[in-house]
Amino acid sequence: MASGWKTARAPATIANVGPGFDVFCLAIRGPADAVSLREADEDSLGVEGPEADAVPSRFRANTAGIVLSAMRLATGVRSGLEVIVRKGIPAGRGLGSSAASCAAAALAFLKTFPGESERIGVAGFLRAAAEGEAAVSGRHYDNIAGALLGGFVSIASTEPLVLARETVSSRIHFAVAVPDFILTTAEMRKVLPRRVSLGDAVSNVGKASTLALALVRGDAMLAGRCLEDRFAEPPRSELLLGYRKVRAAALDAGAEGFAISGSGSTVFALASTKQAAEHSAKAMRDAFASDGTTAKTFTTTVDNSLPLRALVRDRGPRFSLVTP
């Protein structure tokens, strides 16, 4: 039985990215979760860090524990696991908190049991890692794929699993504002419209397609122009306190575009320079404060590292996956 700990880290993620509902995801630099594990006689799990109070600390209830159970089932590993989850990403804020715990747990499992993990392949690994997300907010692959693959991920299909991963230029900057209120994914999905007009559908397809090209090319002005979403953001913005004022403040401060991160409550602005991102971050913080809401802000760029490199080492940054 191994005595040493294996630790893995997974970044925060911005899902949807405007018109790419349940399809697009960006890994970002900054907030992250980490999971450490080692073999043990029986399962145990502890949670540490500034965001620890918001998540369950029982092995079978924590998303990391759920993923590790799925990994054992998929790989045939039978040993118990001692787990420590270090939460650095706030829950219920639209930054992929549960996905980061899932991804970090899966990556720590890969480090602990490399041979067994490699045998299930990339698709099997992603599916097992997604089990934690399924227990919290449904079987969505955008955040989990972003956290495991880094960069910009686009999900074409989940059954079969079809996705592509690209790097994003450091010329594109982000200002992120995290207000001190929670909007759960489950509740925010309830307000989505059942039907979409032809005009709105065409708009979203056109903007999502062009946004993907702009992100890969590093064209911040074009990317910002294409963040408009006519499907999820209009109804969700009604539940996000201060949305209109914060959006206007960010754009007035020099941002190229603005959108909700995931299902909220976090919002982000896209900028062409670090300075514009910093000005936008301050403007968003002040706009939230004017309505009595405290918001933490930071500026960042896309995290193009590839955490799952051990399984995709031969594919490079333009990684794609198509399953039967």
Q: Are 272 and 175 in contact (CB under 8 A)?
A: no
Compute CA distances 317 → 51, 114, 293, whole Å: 32, 21, 40
Compute the distance between CA of residue 237 and CA of residue 107 in angstroms, rounded to an integer: 34
228 in active site: no
Cα distance between residue 118 and residue 249, in whole Å: 48
Largest CA distance in the chain: 60
**Catalytic position from the list 51, 133, 166, 278:** 133
- Between CA 249 and CA 247 the distance in angstroms is 5
Strands in 173-179's sheet, in edge-to-edge order, are 257-260, 267-271, 173-179, 295-300
Q: Can 185 be counted among the known catalytic residues?
A: yes
Active-site pick, 13, 112, 167, 185? 185
**Residues annotated catalytic, as ranges:** 133, 185
